[in-house]
Amino acid sequence: MAIVYLGIGSNTGDRRANIEKATALLKEHKDIKVLAVSPLIETEPEGGPPQGKFLNGAIKIDADLMPLDLLTQLKMIERRLGRVKAEPNAPRPMDLDILFYDDIVIVKGKSLTIPHPRLAERLFVLKPLFEIAPHLVHPRLNKSIKELMEALLPHEGSQRFQSA
C-alpha cells in the first residue's frame, strides 16, 4: 500500500457534484482507501482559453496500485465524468492528478512525473494540500508543503482564493 496525494478540480457543470462523484468513485475502488479530503477552494483558471473558475481540492489515499495503474484508474474516472482529451488548460468537468506517491520520484516519465512537476508553483494545489498534509516534505525540494505555500504567498496574494 502507498500513501498518495491527489489534486482534484472541476470548472464545468456542477463543479461540487463532479468532485463529490469522483471522490465517491475513488471510495468504491477496491484498491483505494480515501483517508482525507481537503476543503474546496475556488480559483481562477491559469492559462488556456477563457473559462469558468475552478473548484480545487486535495485527497489523501492509501492505494494498492502501482503509479501507472493508479494513473489509469484516475483517467477512467475523469472520462466517466465527461472529460474528453482536449488542449492543455482547457475547461474540464474533472481533473485528477497524482501529486505525491509515497516518497517515489519519477523524473519525466513517458506518461507520469512524480511529484507533480508544477505543484510547487501552484497555490491552488498547495493550499488544499496544506489543509491535509502541511508537514509533508517534497522529496526533491526538501521543503514542506507549508514552506512551499509560504514561499508563494507574497507573490500570489491570498485574494485569489476563496473557500467554496
Tell me the angle at which helices 145-156 and 123-132 cross, rounded to the nearest 10 degrees: 140
Q: How many CA atoms lie within 13 A of 12 on its CB side?
A: 14
79 a catalytic residue: no
- Given 16, 31, 64, 97, which residue is catalytic? 97
Active-site choice (83, 102, 103, 122): 83
Q: Which three cell numbers stand for residue 2?
A: 502507498
Nearest to 22 by CA among 56, 66, 51, 49: 56
Residue of 16, 31, 64, 92 with catalytic role? 92
Side chain identity at residue 70, one-letter code = L
Cβ atoms of residues 75 and 26 within 8 Å: no
Burial status of residue 50 (CB atoms within 10 A of its CB: 0-12, 13-18, 19 or more): exposed
Residue 83 appears among annotated catalytic residues: yes
Catalytically annotated residue among 16, 95, 102, 122: 95
Distance CA 81, CA 94 (A): 7
- Tell me if residue 92 is catalytic: yes
Q: Which residues form the catalytic set?
A: 83, 92, 95, 97
